[in-house]
Amino acid sequence: MSTDDWCTGPEVCDLNDEFFDGPVDFDPFSNERSIVRARKMLTAGALHVKWPGRTWWDNPPYSNLLECTIYALEQYSTLYHGQQKELLMLVPVATSTEWHRRATDGVVMRRGVIKPSLIFTHRLKFIDELGKVADSARFDSLLMYFGPRHQRFHEVYEPLCSWRVMAPFQNQSYELMAA
């Protein structure tokens, strides 16, 4: 399919439900075929509104990853205000791109920089425009987690893991771990 209308597949959605203990608060880049459980979903206009809630699932349109990633990180940093916020992104592995560099550089907060934990997955199956689970994608995917529950993130998403990177504490480097 040559559109951005792919949906997150069941193997990821099931783990999202486990990780978030039910639906996420907000899915900004949804569509009518999405099986992501979210209390609020948008099918358009996600880059023009404040994101509600405390937990966000972000599988952005892959044709616009730079703008979507920048906006997601801005939303995370401006709405944090000392509350526990969690942002979980599913994106293609593209380590040489600007959006990837910006995301892995972390989010600047009042008390320092929050860096994501990363899980590089095997080739995931997405839902196609007919609503059917398609063959595996032609690329590997990356789960990026911003929030306080890094260990739990790695425990829950372990079944998808090819290799992972634990988020560092301030002034420490990333820790690389094979699956």
* The pLDDT of residue 115: 84
Residue 150 lies in a domain: yes
Residue 64 lies in a domain: yes
* The pLDDT of residue 172: 45
Residue 1 lies in a domain: no
Q: For a pLDDT cut of 70, what percent of the chain falls above it?
A: 85
Of the listed ranges 33-37, 130-134, 154-158, the least confidently predicted one is 130-134
Contact indicator for 155, 18 with CB cutoff of 8 Å = no
| Residues 126-141 pLDDT 10s | 888 888 888 777 788 8
Contact indicator for 61, 94 with CB cutoff of 8 Å = no
Distance CA 22, CA 4 (A): 26
Q: Which domain holds residue 78?
A: 10-178
Domain count, the chain: 1
Give yes or no for residue 173 having a pLDDT over 80. Answer: no
pLDDT bracket for residue 1 (50, 70, 90) = very low
Distance CA 164, CA 119 (A): 4
Phi, psi (deg, nearest 5) at residue 55: -125, 130
Distance CA 86, CA 148 (A): 8
Nearest to 44 by CA among 56, 28, 55: 28
Residue 80 lies in a domain: yes
Give yes or no for residue 109 having a pLDDT over 80. Answer: no
Distance CA 2, CA 6 (A): 9
Residue 5 lies in a domain: no
Give yes or no for residue 13 having a pLDDT over 90. Answer: yes
Question: What CATH code is carried by the domain that includes residue 53?
Answer: 3.40.50
Residue 47 lies in a domain: yes
Distances in Å between the alpha carbon of 113 and those of 2, 108, 133, 146, 165?
36, 4, 38, 11, 16
Distance CA 27, CA 33 (A): 13
Residue 19: both structure tokens together: 């990780």
* The pLDDT of residue 61: 85
Contact indicator for 31, 7 with CB cutoff of 8 Å = yes
pLDDT bracket for residue 93 (50, 70, 90) = confident
Higher pLDDT, 41 or 92: 41
Residue 107 lies in a domain: yes
Give yes or no for residue 179 having a pLDDT over 60. Answer: no
Give yes or no for residue 171 having a pLDDT over 80. Answer: no
Tokens 């892995």 sit on residue? 104
* The pLDDT of residue 30: 92
Distance CA 122, CA 107 (A): 26
Residue 3 lies in a domain: no
- Chain centroid to Cα 157, Å, comes to 12
